[in-house]
Structure 1
Amino acid sequence: MPTRHTGTAPSRLRRGTVAAIAVAVTATGALAVAGRADAAAGCRVTYSVTSQWPGGFGATIDVTNLGAPLSDWTLKFSFSAGQTVTQLWNGVVNQSGSNVTVINAEYNGNLGTNATVTPGFNGSWTGSNPAPTAFTLNGTACTGSTTPTTAPPTTAPPTTAPPTTPPPTGDSTKARVIAMTDGEVDDRSTMIRFLMYASDFDIAGIVQTNSKYQKSGHSRDKWVEAQLTKYAEILPNLRRHNPNYPDASQLQSVLRVGNENSNDLNVAPPSMATKNTPGEQLIINVLLDSDPRPVHVMAWGGANTLASALWRLRTSYSSADFNRAVAKVRIYCIWYQDGGGQWIEDNVREAYINEAYRWDNVWDYQSLSGPSPDYVKAYMTSSWLNTNVKSGHGPLGSMYPQSFVSEGDTPSFLHEIANGLNAHEDYTLGGWGGRSAYDDPGNKPRHLTDTTISDDGDRNKMYWRWIPAVQNDFAARMDWAVSSSYNGANHQPKAEVVGASRRDVSPGQVISLDASPSTDPDGNVLTYRWWQYGDADSVAAKVSINNATSQNAANFVVPNEPGKQVHIILEVADNGTPNLTSYRRLIFTIR
C-alpha cells in the first residue's frame, strides 16, 4: 500500500445490497441419531440461494436438528438440473453425479436438539437452477417434524478441563490465503504481523508484485527472505504457545515473484508484456487444486498478477476449471493500486472482490478523522509500537521498519484470524478487517466496497472499533516470540455459547444468551459483553439486551420483522497482560 493520500472516494462507487433468493425446503427420508433408545429423530432444512450469476451461484443450507443431540452429522441431497458444488464451507463435500454428501467439519460435529448448522457453498449451473427438494440428515428425512427411533444408547463424551497447551487446529478449520505485496515500507511492517499470525491460516502463497506507487516492485531486495530468517529464530518460542506455526522453509517454498514490469501497470491482461510469471502460475495452481476451501487473495499492492492469472484461466483452461477457480477466489484489495483490480471487477464479474479504502484513515492515527476516542489513537503511537513490538520482543519485532504503526495492508488478513467473528466467511458481516457492502448487485453481484457505508454514522468505525483488541492481541503474539514457556505470556480466551450460532426465532420470542461454556487457558478472570451489530444485520429495530454484561442472564426480545436477521456479538475479555478478547457471533433469523 502507498503512503497515505487524501481525497474523496471514486465517484463511480455506488451503494447497493445483495438480493437473496430464499427457498424453504422440506423433504422425506430416515435418520439414525446417536442418543438414547426410542429418542425422537428429525430435522428441518432451509435452502437459500444467496446470489446468482451466469453459470454460477451461491447458496446456504440451514440444517436444524429436531431430534436427540448428534456428535456428528451427514447431510445428503440431490440436484435435479446438473448443478455442481464447486466449493463448500462449514463442512466437507463429496459429489457423485447429482448426489451430494456433506459431512461435518472438525469444529461443528456436535449438533444439539434444535441447534442449527449452516453449510454454505458456491456452485455452477446451466439452463436452470432449481432448489433440491429432498434432504436427509444421518439418513432420516428432513420433514420438519420428528419420528421415534430405536438407535442404541451412546455414552456422552466426558467433560474435560480446559487444556494447558493449545491443541493443534485441523487444516479444514483455517482460511487459505495468498498475500501479494509490492514491498513498500508499510508492506514490510504488515508482513511482520502477518507472520506472527501464520498459525491462524494456511499460507498458500506470498507473491511479490508492483504497484503504481512501487512501479518496479522490491523482490530484488530479498526483504521477505530476511524476515523469514528472523521468523525461523523465534519459531521455537512461538510453537510453545501455538503448535500450528509453519516452518520458515514451508513459507519460503511458496514465495514467488509475479509481474513487476512497470509498463504493465495499467494494461489489460491480454496486452501485458509480462505474462506467465511464477507468481501467476502459483495463483492458478492454488485455485485449481483439490482443496475445496476459499482462497483469500490479498492485494497489498497491485492486482495485475492476479488479473493475468484469471485471464489465463479463462483463455487457456477449460470452462469447468475457470468456473471452479473463480468460485474459490476471495479478493481483498487495499485500494486499486494498478489496473488489475478494476479489470477484474469489470471483466470477471463472477469473482468476489472487495475494495478497502477506509483503513488508511485509521492506521495513520495523526490524521484520524471522525469521533474516534483518544484511547483508540493511543494504540497507534510510536510509544505503543516501541513498547510492544520493536523493543525487547525478538529479532522479527526489531525489524519493524518504521518508528510509528505503518501497516496500510493489515486489514486484508485480519478477517482470517481465529477470533470467533468468522468474518472471512462473508466480508459484509464485519470484523477486525472492517466491513463492506455490495456496491452494485444488479450489475456486479460479487463486488464489495467500504466506501459507501458506516458504523453508527462514522465512516471509519467499522475499522477503529476493533483497534484496542487487535493491538492487544498483536502485543501478546510479540510476547510469545520471547517467552520460552506457555505460562510466560497471555493467550486468547475461548468465547462459547449455549446453543447454535445460527438460530431460527419468532417475533416476540425472548432469547436467552448464555456464555457459561467460555473458558480461559490461563485461568484469568473473564468479563462479558453482548451487543447488537446493527449495522451488519438487517432488522430496523435497535434491540435492547437486558443484563448485557452478564455471563448467562442476558436476554432480548425478537423484533417483529419476519425475514430479517439480528446479529448479536458476544465479547469475552480476560484480565491478563495484555488483556485479550475473543468473540462469538450469533445470527438469529426471524421466521
Structure 2
Amino acid sequence: MTARPRTIVTADPELDDLNSMIRFLLYGNEVEIEGLVYASSRFHWRGDGAGTEFFLPDREYTEPQRSWRWAPGERFIDDAVDAYAQVYDTLVTHDERYPAPDRLRSVIREGNVDFEGDTAHASPGSDLIADVLLDDRPGPVFLQLWAGPSTVARALMSIEERFGETPEWEAVHATVSAKAVISKFASQDDTYDDYIAVAWPGIRVIEVATLAWGYMARRTIRPEDHHLLGASWTRDNVTGVGPLGALYRVWGDGRQMVPGDMTDYFHLSGLSADELRALGYGVWMPPQPPGEWISEGDSTNMLNLLVPGLRAHEHPSYGGWGGRYVRTDDGADTWGLADAAFRVGGADWADSSATGDEGSVVRWFADAQADFAARLQWTVRPFAEVNHHPTVRIAEGTDVDVSAGSEVTLTAELGDPDGDDVSCRWWVYREAGTYDGEVSPAAEHGIRTSIVVPADARPGETIHVIAEATDDAPTPLKAWQRVILTVR
C-alpha cells in the first residue's frame, strides 16, 4: 500500500480554522496526522498570563493588548476531536485506517501562542514538530500553517540550537530541509521572512493563499457551484449531519469563537453592513443569509494531500483539489498558485476588485464538497446505507516511460465496494505536464484508451493523463488515478 502523507497542522482560533479542522478529521484515513497544534498569528494570541502588554503598529487595535481574540481556555481543536470521538465507532466501519480519538488527542499540543511571532521559548507544540522532523522516518512531513509560522520557526530554532555548533549540523540541516514541506496561507507573522527563509532556504514552501475556499469564495467559484455555499445545501449535507456537522460554523448560528469579538459578526443575521457598523462591528465582508457558508480559508493547505490517486502531494506543479502551483522567485524552492486572485502583498484581498477565476482550484470545488458530504454521512450511517468511492487501478502502472512518436495504451481496472457500476473518463492535465503542446486520449470514455506521444516531445518531458472513475450511485462519488508519461 502506498505510504500516506505525514502532516502536522498548526491553527489559530478562527472560525475558518475550526471548519477546516472538521473537514481535515474526516480525511484522517488518507493521511498520517502527526500533530494538531494551537498556534498564534497576527490575528490571534493568548497573552502570557502575566499581564504583559503587547502592541504592534498598523493592526486592527489601537491600544496595547494583553490578549487578542483568544478565548480563555481555548480548545477548538479539542472540541473538534471530541465531536470526532462521538462518531468514531461508526466512521471506522467505513475505513479501518481512521485514527482512534485517543491517538489524535495524544498529538494535540499548545504551540507558541503568547504573542504574535513569539519565539522566545520552546513550547510543547514546537518540541513535537522538532521531534518529528528529527525522527528516522523518511520524509516528507507536510507542515500546514493555518496560523502564523512562529511555532514552526521555534521548532527549527530549537534544532539549530541543538546541532548548530556540532559536527552533525551540516547533515542535520540538509536532512531537515529536505524533509520539511511548509504550506502557508500568507505569512501571518514575521517569523517566516525573518528566520525560516533566511536560515532554512532549502525548505520547500508553498504559498496557498486563495479566495476560493475562504471568506471571499463567492467571488471566484463557478456560478454553477454557488448553491454549494447556500443554506439549504449546507443544512442538508453538513450542519444537519451528526456531531461533526453540527460543530461547523455558518452565518447567523449565534456563536462566536471569542465572546465580544467586534471583528466577528458572523453569528448575527438579518442585519445590514451599516447596521452592524452601528453596533460597533468592523465589517470586512458582506453579510450573508443565515445558514450559509462562511469560510474554510485554510483548507487549501490540506486539499492536495487528500486524494491519493491524483498524486498532487508529490510535487506542487502536479495540481489537485488544492490547486496547481508554479515556481516563484521568493526563494530556492518556493511555489505559488498558478492562477491566484489573492496576491500576497498586492491588492487588498477584501477589496471588491480582488477577483479571479483561480481555475486550478475551483475546477475541483464541487467534487470536494460532494466528497465532504459523503464522509459526513459515514459518521452517522452504517456501511450498507451510504456510498463509497469507486476504485481505479492502471494495469500498465502510474509512471510509464515512452518514446517520442510512440503510442501507449492505458487500461483502467475499475471496482466499487458497494457494487455500483463505474464509468471511466480519460483526460490530459496539460498544465501539469512539461510537454508544451496538445495531447488528447484516443478514447475519452471506457476502460481503455491510448495516447500518441508527439514526435517533437523531448527527453525528460512529461504528459499527465488522468483516469477519472465515477460510480452510478444516487449521490455519485469519484476516484482518480494520475499516470505520468515520461519521454525517454
TM-score normalized with structure 2 length: 0.78
Counterpart secondary structure, 1:221: coil
Q: For residue 346 of structure 1, what is the aligned residue in structure 2?
A: 198
Q: For residue 385 of structure 1, what is the aligned residue in structure 2?
A: 234
In the aligned structure 1, how far is the partner of 2:78 from the partner of 2:222?
38
Specify whether residues 397 and 362 from structure 1 end up closer, same or farther in structure 2 by C-alpha distance, changes over 3 A only: closer
Counterpart secondary structure, 1:495: strand
Which one-letter code corresponds to 2:203 in the other structure? A
In the aligned structure 1, how far is the partner of 2:426 from the partner of 2:156?
42
Question: Does the alignment pair 1:233 with 2:121?
Answer: no
Matches within 5 A, 1:28-427: 106-107=1-2, 173-216=3-46, 217=70, 220-262=73-115, 264-265=116-117, 272=118, 274-317=120-163, 318-319=168-169, 320-343=171-194, 344-358=196-210, 360-364=211-215, 367-369=218-220, 373-391=222-240, 393-402=241-250, 403-405=291-293, 406-427=295-316
Specify whether residues 489 and 219 from structure 1 end up closer, same or farther in structure 2 by C-alpha distance, changes over 3 A only: farther
In the aligned structure 2, how far is the partner of 1:365 from the partner of 1:513?
40
Which one-letter code corresponds to 2:74 in the other structure? D
How big is the shift at 1:244? 1.0
Which one-letter code corresponds to 1:345 in the other structure? A
Is the Cα contact below 8 Å between 2:139 and 2:180 reproduced in 1?
no
Is the Cα contact below 8 Å between 2:209 and 2:300 reproduced in 1?
no
In the TM superposition, what whole-angstrom CA distance separates every residue of 1:191-216 from its partner, at most 9, and x where no partner exists?
A: 11111111111111011011112233
Which one-letter code corresponds to 2:331 in the other structure? K
How big is the shift at 1:338? 1.0
Matches within 5 A, 1:435-446: 435-440=324-329, 444-446=331-333
In the aligned structure 1, how far is the partner of 2:439 from the partner of 2:447?
18
Which structure: greater helix fraction?
A: 2
In the TM superposition, what whole-angstrom CA distance separates every residue of 1:167-186 from its partner, at most 9, and x where no partner exists?
A: xxxxxx11111000011111
In the aligned structure 2, how far is the partner of 1:540 from the partner of 1:463?
21
Which one-letter code corresponds to 1:446 in the other structure? D
How big is the shift at 1:363? 4.1
Specify whether residues 281 and 447 from structure 1 end up closer, same or farther in structure 2 by C-alpha distance, changes over 3 A only: same
The partner residue of 2:422 within 526, 535, 542 is 526
In the TM superposition, what whole-angstrom CA distance separates every residue of 1:408-434 from its partner, at most 9, and x where no partner exists?
A: 111211222144111111121111121
In the aligned structure 2, how far is the partner of 1:557 from the partner of 1:209?
48
In the TM superposition, what whole-angstrom CA distance separates every residue of 1:478-512 from its partner, at most 9, and x where no partner exists?
A: 010011x2111111111111202111111211222
Counterpart secondary structure, 2:158: helix
In the TM superposition, what whole-angstrom CA distance separates every residue of 1:559-590 from its partner, at most 9, and x where no partner exists?
A: 42212111111111112242111111111111
In the TM superposition, what whole-angstrom CA distance separates every residue of 1:348-377 from its partner, at most 9, and x where no partner exists?
A: 11111111122x2454466323xx532222
Specify whether residues 219 and 520 from structure 1 end up closer, same or farther in structure 2 by C-alpha distance, changes over 3 A only: farther
In the TM superposition, what whole-angstrom CA distance separates every residue of 1:90-118 from its partner, at most 9, and x where no partner exists?
A: xxxxxxxxxxxxxxxx44xxxxxxxxxxx
Give identity over the alignment, percent: 30
Which one-letter code corresponds to 1:374 in the other structure? P
Q: For residue 380 of structure 2, what is the aligned residue in structure 1?
A: 482
In the aligned structure 2, how far is the partner of 1:366 from the partner of 1:537?
28
Which one-letter code corresponds to 1:193 in the other structure? R
In the aligned structure 1, how far is the partner of 2:112 from the partner of 2:455?
52
Q: For residue 487 of structure 2, what is the aligned residue in structure 1?
A: 590
**How many aligned positions are there?**
403
Is the Cα contact below 8 Å between 1:345 and 1:444 reproduced in 2?
yes
In the aligned structure 2, how far is the partner of 1:421 from the partner of 1:411?
15
Specify whether residues 363 and 381 from structure 1 end up closer, same or farther in structure 2 by C-alpha distance, changes over 3 A only: farther
In the aligned structure 2, how far is the partner of 1:466 from the partner of 1:278?
36
Matches within 5 A, 1:509-588: 509-515=406-412, 517-563=413-459, 564-588=461-485
Question: Does the alignment pair 1:471 with 2:369?
Answer: yes
Counterpart secondary structure, 2:197: helix
In the aligned structure 2, how far is the partner of 1:273 from the partner of 1:521?
49
In the aligned structure 2, how far is the partner of 1:364 from the partner of 1:451?
20
Is the Cα contact below 8 Å between 1:414 and 1:432 reproduced in 2?
yes
Unaligned runs of 5+ in 1: 1-105, 108-172, 266-271
In the aligned structure 1, how far is the partner of 2:72 from the partner of 2:162?
28
Is the Cα contact below 8 Å between 1:365 and 1:377 reproduced in 2?
no
In the aligned structure 1, how far is the partner of 2:409 from the partner of 2:72?
54
In the aligned structure 2, how far is the partner of 1:551 from the partner of 1:451?
31
The partner residue of 1:447 within 334, 338, 345 is 334
Which one-letter code corresponds to 1:305 in the other structure? T
In the aligned structure 2, how far is the partner of 1:244 from the partner of 1:221?
29
How big is the shift at 1:331? 0.7
Specify whether residues 500 and 211 from structure 1 end up closer, same or farther in structure 2 by C-alpha distance, changes over 3 A only: same
Specify whether residues 554 and 385 from structure 1 end up closer, same or farther in structure 2 by C-alpha distance, changes over 3 A only: farther
In the aligned structure 1, how far is the partner of 2:395 from the partner of 2:72?
49
Which one-letter code corresponds to 1:252 in the other structure? R
Is the Cα contact below 8 Å between 2:111 and 2:151 reproduced in 1?
yes
Counterpart secondary structure, 2:92: helix
How big is the shift at 1:453? 6.8
Give me the CA root mean square deviation.
2.0
Is the Cα contact below 8 Å between 1:511 and 1:558 reproduced in 2?
no
Which one-letter code corresponds to 1:332 in the other structure? S
Is the Cα contact below 8 Å between 1:175 and 1:202 reproduced in 2?
yes
Unaligned runs of 5+ in 2: 47-69, 251-290, 342-355
In the aligned structure 1, how far is the partner of 2:339 from the partner of 2:82?
41
Counterpart secondary structure, 1:530: strand
